[in-house]
Structure 1
Amino acid sequence: MNNITICFGLTFTVRGILSSEIEKKYQNYYKNIFSYLYAHTTLNVCIFLPGVILEWFEKKHPEILDVLTELVKRKQIEILGGGYYEPLLPLLLPKDRVGQIEALTTRIRKAIGKRPRGITLAESIWDPSLISSCNSCGIEYAFLDNRLIPRNSYRSVASYSPLIVEDLGRTLTVIPLHQDTKPTVKQSSEFFFEHLKNAQNSGNSFVYACFFSPEEFDELIQTAWLDEFLELTAKNTNINLSIPSIYLKECQIVNKTFIPAGCMSDAAMWTLEPFVPHAKVFSEALRPTVRDFLTLYPEAQKLYSRMMNISSMISQCKGDKARRKTAREYLWIAQNYAVYMFTGKGGITDQKLRQYSYSNLLRAEQLVRDASNFVDNTTCFDFDFDGILEYVNRFTTYNAFISRHGGMITELDIMHNYANYCDVMPRIRKYDGVTDLYAKNMFVDHFIPAEKDEELEFNTHLLSKLNQQLYNQKQFERSRHELVLETVVEIGDLKQNLSVTKKYTLNENGILVQYILRNESEENLTGFFGVENNFSVPYKSSANIQLEVLLEGKKEIPSSDTYYIKQSDIGLLQLTDTDAKNSFVLEPNERAGICIQPLYSARPDESGSVEPRYEANTCTFFWKISLEPGMEIEKTLNMAINTAKKKSVAKRKRK
């Protein structure tokens, strides 16, 4: 029997950046694992520690770094490199890829005393272009899920041998990972040994590698599985544990292959249908990549577009180097892989995680502004890479991003507290009992046909063709921050044509939207015209929103967590984020009806439990209108934006 080398790995992955969670894991798992490794000198493992964990160890438990340094000197463990904040490297620009890898390499060298030579990739998400980035950073090998390696009856590639991959004249060694067969406490160590013997290929380069989470590894310790395993390896001279650097020096790599872009099966199963796993998704005919997540989950694409926009802004900034460096660090924090994916729990569905990423992106943008003499500006470009121009309006106090899809505002950033107030996860029937058929953004237009004496019971999933229209640009004035959009939509069973002209006028104080509705049909057109705004309050619940309305000139205070509707006589709505002291005042040009209700969505959180979570408050102004053929009507809705920072500046000016 030929020699079998086993490379176990530990990945201390951080989904988001929460110090309290790291402390819990340290007490429950980390401390026990490091104690066990220190006491069992024959147990070789490679360990991936992201920058956040290393920083935390330095501040809270520096003794752990002393233990790791000692284990490295023993050649018992090897520290792996990677992205500092665990990004999805294929999604990053080369400058950010190399920057994140080098940042973690430097942190490891300073903390442990040795530069890493290997790398691990979040969720084994791979792209051949990473070879050049790894070469630039002095990375010699990478671990990659073996299911990504193409093989068929015409192309035999060893599953248990290191491989050489090449791109544009640069090479990288790949060690296949076997996550699908890694040992668990449900199987004995003897069973695992038999599996290795059955799977072994001919030759002396056989290597079995798999990675464990701290929870999984600690379970192997607590159940004495590892103790039994170490006893077996001591009795079998042809089976040994090793670390990658030692193994690669001793083996001869003769296999070369090409590995196309892809992601491991455990993540790939969520790339065919939103929030529905498909176990047999991965094949040569159907090879999912990380970009399938962006295609399938609009919130991931939205955040990715914003991240790329900020990365470009930083690269183009020619101002203060210190501010640019800090801005890029905030950008890197926002690139953590978890928020751009869904793998069965949390991820892109977690509003706190999304808002944390938006917050860091906005902090980066503010630093770029400070370094480059920012002035209010309006531009148009293909922001979200869909082939259609978007309109980006940046002011000192806020940003507003306008899409031609529905003519909506898709992002509203308040710079005072670095928050996106237009970040809402639409509901789906599987979890919420209802499916929202349009994006829950701001200035979402509705037209619902109705009889003359009919009242409207507005709900948050009304189907209106108007909000699904692709508006056309009629006029765009950059210097005046004005945009005019127009569309024609068929209304009702009679398919009556209604033309809508929608004019945005923006300034530092807020947003004014003017509508002109014209009946283009030959029959009278009667119905409700509504303008919906969804306000998501970052990190908060509906209790952090204070509502005030003017009904027939008198103030009312609706509850933010109950349904509130009035058919007419509403002159104003003020919505206040009580923590950040930001308020939004919406005022129609003539009295209107209003419907206000909280919006909840249910998705599996990081623990896997499915509970309704607050997403936003939906506020819809509506008017009952009746148009004769060829007639038109004007409606206007003004949204004033008042931030705590702007108020304090105004007070100083008055003094």
Structure 2
Amino acid sequence: MVLCPSNFLLPTTNCNTGRCDMKRLCLCIHNHQPVGNFDYVFREAIDRSYVPFLETLSRYPRIKVSLHTSGPLLEFIERDSTSTYLDLVRSLVASGQLELVGGGYFEPILQLLPERDRIQQIQLMSDELLRLFGRRPTGLWLAERVWEPDLASSLARAGVQWTLVDDNGFEKSGLRGPDLTHAYVTEDQSQTLTVFPILKELRYRIPWSEPEETLGYIREFGEDAEVFVYGDDGEKFGLWPGTYDHVYTQGWLQRFFQALTDAEDVTTVTVAEAVSSLKPRERVYLPTCSYVEMEEWSLAASRQKVFADLCQKTSPEERSFLSGGTFRNFLARYPEANRMHKRMLFVGSELGNADSEARMHYLRSQCNCAYWHGIFGGLYLPHLRDAIYTELLTAERLIPERRLGTWLQDTDADGQPEVVMATKHQVFFLHVCGGRLVLWDDLRQSWSWSNVMTRYHEAFHDRMLEATSQSETHRVTNIHETLRLKDPDAPGALQFDDHMRVNFIDRFGPSLDAATGGEPVMKEYSAELGQTWARLEASGLIVKTFAPSEGGLRVDFEIGAPQNWYVCELNLALWWEDRERSFVADSFTIGTEAHRLSVRTSSPIHVELSPIRTVSNSESGIETIYQGMTVFIALDLRTSRHLTLEIGG
């Protein structure tokens, strides 16, 4: 027998035969809520999922669990004096039932960060777990289980001994079936890391199948099987639709823990105990991967169904060699995600290596949820994007010596430079393609006026429209296998944009209607820069001169296009107000008390206002979400070919 650090006696593995006396089951639970989520969502998750799970676990002392709690969730729980979560964790850690699992503190996708930030996020989590519970973790939970090969050296340098990666990645390396019930070692630059496969079969069985069925699946494996790893979200145990009644009221979790307690051939161990008692079977090199659902979501909508159909048609033996997209695809699919990510890196480059209050806001902005979209990703949730920008702009405001002025820089990593205009209180990015303002950030308010979401076509839109019945089954089902309609008005609200929702988009036409509905000008504008201004010109059509003002922006238009009407489209992060949508004015305000903009023009203009609403999906179902306001400003070129517009908060 081997004595593990927790004083738990484990059956040893025979080094010659690879056989062990009992089958080990690792249960790794991941509890997380993103930066910026609503307080009531935190509380509901704690009350209906996280705490009931731990309370149930405490009644079954022979069951061991590895637990990851993200930094944003820990911060909320510390502020919420009514929660028993921390006390439950301390008690279970002290009794040896619970292993603390580390991670990036603010739950970032580590691969998207500079090396220094990767290490700091991991060490920050380790320090916090030591402060709160008196223990440092030995392993790490990968956010969204996103793996890239060079991550091994980063984790090793941060002191991480092990991590979990979905079996999808191991299968792409040629492993399958019984091969997935062992520990492996991988390396990058000779920095080694123990890796375990998370079994998709267990993810789809727990907590949906009856406990004996899950144990039966484990027992089907031969004596050589060493360890079975389950790793998934804690929200499955009470927060996902229908699961609270299933898991707690109907007693699934008690039955599961009791079945494991009674089992004579299956024992639960923490991942750290598995690491200490098992030798890695062999060295593996895993490709870039995540769970298979993520590989589908990151593909373009038009390709997701093709990929899903191909997976269905392919035999299980061959299916593992089908690869979908990677997490980085989200930065290509959604310019809004890429803009946030590159804005984060922009602020990081301004910060340098200084440790400060600004750096903590910067690290908090790296929380992954607002950077992607699937059933779980929150890119379509304005409050999560707002939170990212709030942290970024607060960090930027606190930097003592930022670069100010106007210059060219490739801010979105598309190979072409953008115009950057930075003042003490504002930052603007202008794209020469279309002469558009793609970013407008107010540092004093920590608010991005340009934080608006484009209405993209998503694969689930087609499934929604094709559905013949919206009724939900009474049986509790895996949310990956169902389509729920949370908002009955969603099908009628479905619209798709043919252009990105940014600002100062130019259109021309012979009539007002023709110009408003016409194609945007998307040619490359020439750029001329001054210290405090930038001039963008589309030869023969328009010259726009942008100059930051004290609280906003002044734009001068000189229009030469041989048309009767000019229309300028703005898309702004403003809440809709009950007001007239169409009017003629030379000054007006838009927005609500929290965030309001004033607009003044040198001559009367035609104004058309409309809300931007997207139809998006989440674990609770498909719903309609307000994203911002479109403002069409139209000038009759038969009366004037010059316009000055001033806009600001």
Q: Do both proteins adopt the same fold according to a TM-score greater than 0.5, normalized to the shorter chain?
A: yes
Q: Which residue of 2 aligns with 1:575?
A: 590
Q: Which residue of 1 aligns with 2:216?
A: 194
Q: Which has the higher contact order (CA 8 A, sep 6+)?
A: 2
**1:226 & 1:435 partners in 2: Cα distance?**
43
Amino acid at match of 2:529: F
> How far 1:150 moved relative to its partner?
4.2
The reply to whether residue 96 of structure 1 matches residue 117 of structure 2 is yes
The alpha-carbon distance between structure 1 residues 157 and 192, as it changes in their structure 2 partners (threshold 3 A), is closer
Calculate the aligned-residue CA RMSD, in Å.
2.8
8 Å contact from structure 1 (residues 575, 584) kept in 2: yes
Amino acid at match of 1:571: D
The alpha-carbon distance between structure 1 residues 275 and 564, as it changes in their structure 2 partners (threshold 3 A), is farther
> How far 1:515 moved relative to its partner?
3.4
| Mean Cα deviation higher: 125-134 or 596-605 | 596-605
Pick from 268, 273, 280 the counterpart of residue 246 of structure 1.
273
Pick from 47, 59, 64 the counterpart of residue 39 of structure 1.
59
Q: Which residue of 2 aligns with 1:339?
A: 370
8 Å contact from structure 1 (residues 573, 587) kept in 2: no
8 Å contact from structure 1 (residues 346, 606) kept in 2: no
The reply to whether residue 436 of structure 1 matches residue 473 of structure 2 is no
> How far 1:268 moved relative to its partner?
1.8
Pick from 320, 335, 346 the counterpart of residue 309 of structure 1.
346
The alpha-carbon distance between structure 1 residues 314 and 228, as it changes in their structure 2 partners (threshold 3 A), is same
The reply to whether residue 51 of structure 1 matches residue 112 of structure 2 is no
Aligned counterparts, 1:56-455, within 5 A: 56-59=76-79, 60-61=81-82, 63-151=84-172, 158-182=179-203, 183-198=205-220, 200=221, 203=224, 205-216=226-237, 219-274=246-301, 277-278=304-305, 279=308, 284=321, 286-315=323-352, 324-344=355-375, 347-368=378-399, 371-372=400-401, 374=402, 376-428=404-456, 430=461, 432-448=493-509, 450=510, 454-455=511-512
Pick from 491, 496, 500 the counterpart of residue 542 of structure 2.
500
Q: Which residue of 1 aligns with 2:524?
A: 470
**2:77 & 2:609 partners in 1: Cα distance?**
47
Decide which structure has the larger Cα Rg and report it: 1
8 Å contact from structure 2 (residues 26, 228) kept in 1: yes
1:301 aligns to what SS in structure 2? Answer: helix
The alpha-carbon distance between structure 1 residues 438 and 81, as it changes in their structure 2 partners (threshold 3 A), is same
1:68 aligns to what SS in structure 2? Answer: helix
> How far 1:124 moved relative to its partner?
0.7
Deviations 1:88-125 (A, max 9, x none): 11111111111111111111011111110011111111
**1:340 & 1:509 partners in 2: Cα distance?**
28
> How far 1:127 moved relative to its partner?
1.5
> How far 1:346 moved relative to its partner?
5.6
**1:213 & 1:41 partners in 2: Cα distance?**
19
> How far 1:625 moved relative to its partner?
4.2
The reply to whether residue 456 of structure 1 matches residue 471 of structure 2 is no
Q: Which residue of 2 aligns with 1:647?
A: none
**1:171 & 1:177 partners in 2: Cα distance?**
19
8 Å contact from structure 2 (residues 115, 154) kept in 1: yes
Amino acid at match of 1:367: L
Amino acid at match of 2:555: V
**1:172 & 1:386 partners in 2: Cα distance?**
34
Pick from 28, 50, 64 the counterpart of residue 48 of structure 2.
28
**1:273 & 1:505 partners in 2: Cα distance?**
37
The alpha-carbon distance between structure 1 residues 51 and 505, as it changes in their structure 2 partners (threshold 3 A), is closer
| Mean Cα deviation higher: 422-431 or 383-392 | 422-431
Q: Which residue of 2 aligns with 1:638?
A: 645
8 Å contact from structure 2 (residues 102, 140) kept in 1: yes
> How far 1:624 moved relative to its partner?
3.9
8 Å contact from structure 1 (residues 445, 531) kept in 2: yes
| Mean Cα deviation higher: 53-62 or 391-400 | 53-62
**2:349 & 2:599 partners in 1: Cα distance?**
33
Amino acid at match of 2:590: L
**1:230 & 1:188 partners in 2: Cα distance?**
12
**Greater strand share, 1 or 2?**
1
Q: Which residue of 2 aligns with 1:542?
A: 576
Amino acid at match of 2:643: T
8 Å contact from structure 1 (residues 350, 605) kept in 2: no
Between the aligned residues of both structures, percent identity stands at 20
Aligned residue pairs: how many? 578
2:453 aligns to what SS in structure 1? Answer: coil
Q: Which residue of 2 aligns with 1:491?
A: none
> How far 1:274 moved relative to its partner?
4.2
TM-score by length of 1: 0.81
The alpha-carbon distance between structure 1 residues 313 and 274, as it changes in their structure 2 partners (threshold 3 A), is farther
Unaligned stretches of 5+ residues in structure 2: 1-18, 239-243, 312-318, 462-490
> How far 1:203 moved relative to its partner?
2.4
**1:258 & 1:301 partners in 2: Cα distance?**
28
1:427 aligns to what SS in structure 2? Answer: coil
Aligned counterparts, 1:517-528, within 5 A: 517-518=559-560, 525-528=562-565
The alpha-carbon distance between structure 1 residues 413 and 154, as it changes in their structure 2 partners (threshold 3 A), is closer
The alpha-carbon distance between structure 1 residues 286 and 236, as it changes in their structure 2 partners (threshold 3 A), is closer
**2:118 & 2:456 partners in 1: Cα distance?**
35
The alpha-carbon distance between structure 1 residues 596 and 622, as it changes in their structure 2 partners (threshold 3 A), is farther
8 Å contact from structure 2 (residues 397, 425) kept in 1: no
**1:153 & 1:359 partners in 2: Cα distance?**
44
**1:346 & 1:203 partners in 2: Cα distance?**
38
